Amino acid sequence: MNKPDPSPPDYSDEFIAGILESVRCIALVGASANPERPSHRVMKFLLDKGYRVIAVNPGLAGHTLLGAPVVASLGEIGEAVDMIDIFRAAEAAPGLVRDALEMNPRPRVIWMQLGVVNEEAARLARDGGLEVVMDRCPKIEYARLSSETGWAGVASHHISANRAARGDSGVQQLILERDIPDPAG
């Protein structure tokens, strides 16, 4: 059993930003219908930011969650996925990576949520040519990189006078360059 390392892996801002800029479709494994659960809030955030999200939860398969489809397993996803976001215990990560490596086409990124660190899963993913992020949350990283964390009252432990530019709407938006087509057409 792999326990989280007390010092989380260190990823450059460029590495994380590159992932968040390039992915379009995310499979969120462990998505919950309970709005109090972190996976639900992260899924809503990602959808609100324009990502396509496919929820993976066997108990909700066949339904929709926040307007997104829900499947029972990674193997049931019938389209290309760029990133697998793992909201499960660290012990489940190697099996999920093996499932991801069976996908055609393969995802490009395995992202393990806060508290999810599994070196075996990371090795399997890297050996399969995938990028790996462990012990990070894409919602938090997105907000941190776009200076949205200060607006939300989150302590980023990074002090700067620089803020990301606001869009025409006056709403803080991610500084990452993204051109995501509207899935509605």
pTM over 0.85: no
Q: Looking at residue 92, what DSSP letter applies? A: G
* Residue 51 pLDDT level (bands cut at 50, 70, 90): very high
Q: Which residue has the tokens 């809503």?
A: 44
| Nearest residue to 37 via CA among 19, 60, 21, 6 | 60
The domain ranges of the chain are 13-152
* Residue 9: predicted pLDDT: 74
* Residue 171: predicted pLDDT: 39
In this structure, what token pair is assigned to residue 41?
């809030």
What CATH fold (topology level) applies to the domain 13-152?
Rossmann fold (3.40.50)
Residues 92-123 pLDDT 10s: 999 999 999 999 999 999 999 999 999 999 99
Alpha-carbon distance of 182 to 49, in angstroms, equals: 11
Alpha-carbon distance of 59 to 38, in angstroms, equals: 17
User: Which residues lie closer than 8 Å to 140 by C-beta, 6 or more apart?
Assistant: 114, 149, 154
